Chains A and B, each alone.
Chain A
Amino acid sequence: MDLVAFAEWCSTTRIALAISESTWAFAVIESVHLLGLAALGGTVLVVDLRLLELGLTRHPVRVLAREVWKWQTLALAVMLATGVLLFLSEATKCYYSTPFWVKMGALLVSLAFLFTVKRRVVFAEQAPGRGVAALVAVVSLALWFTVGAGGRWIGFSG
């Protein structure tokens, strides 16, 4: 099955139809997606700023990362769950949307980077060197910004 057919199948699933036929569902799911965005953004920023030696600099990166990790994972789960529902309800539109593909590409790289490189760096017993820390923060911020901006642009592109 090719991707167009898959997207078309997605938009005919019962859940997709329920969302697109309802007046409120899409708006409510979208709002929860935004609540997740705020929470995810806050947790990412606090750790990335610390890696750039800004913000909560009196505490080790490891402590901050550990303290926000649970909330970051929760926010990610909320975003992914609501994101899948939003996608299902307009899968065909997404398939033809360039910002959607930019967002999905950046999202995959972001998640891979977070759960491999960044996780290893922030949880290391030995605090990361300045250069490595700054590089990880800049890559993380750039990737998440692309995901967010791409997401917002899906709504603007026909």
Chain B
Amino acid sequence: MLQFCEWLAATPGSIALHESLYMYPLVESAHVLTLCLFVGMSVLLDLRLLGLALRPVPLTDITRRLMPWMIAGFVVMVVTGLLLFYAIPVRSYQNVFFRLKVIFLILAGLNAWTFHRTVYRQVDQWDRDARPPGRARAAGAASLVLWACIIIAGRMIAYNWFDCDIPQSPFITWAAGCTPRAS
């Protein structure tokens, strides 16, 4: 994986993006501002699942009518996120916060998948409930916490506290996957 990142870092596109004066900040701004679209709307969906906001609105209204916007936001976040990784592959790969973010993203995906495979199947029975069933509320709460963790971890990637090029504790060296070669 590290070898792949090193190969990626040597591609002309990666170097161009990394060194560009405007493209990198523009891609990063798009990544951050799309938070409003994707995470902002999923926060409202989660609050609805918890019975804390938009109570008069049936849940399927939110999922059906807001989903196209959320998907659009998600696509922009993924594309810009991949570009940001493409610009700085090795450092990102060996960054503990990046690794944490990927773990939280996987957990958020699993949470959404489980929700859709279980309690959402019987949504007809609780669509209009001001307070959805326990499993739906749990999924909403888990999603809120996970997305908060994803945002915090994402923001922290910018800091070099645990980078491999400065001396680290054995735990961080292991967690960040630092190698003697990369230091």
Contact = CB atoms under 8 A, between A and B. Distances in A.
12 contacts: A41-B36, A41-B37, A42-B36, A42-B43, A46-B41, A56-B54, A56-B61, A58-B61, A59-B56, A67-B56, A152-B25, A156-B25
A74 to B, nearest CB: 11
Interface of A is mostly: helix
Interface of B: 25, 28-29, 32-33, 35-37, 39-44, 47, 53-57, 61-62, 65-66, 69, 147-148, 151-152, 155-156, 158-159, 161
Contacts of B151: 31, 34-35, 38
A42 B57 CA distance: 16
A38 B147 contact: yes
Contacts of A43: 40, 44
B139 to A, nearest CB: 18
Nearest to B35: A38
B43 A38 contact: yes
A59 B155 contact: no
Interface string A27-49: 11011001101111111111001
A71 B53 contact: yes
A84 interface: no
A46 B66 contact: yes
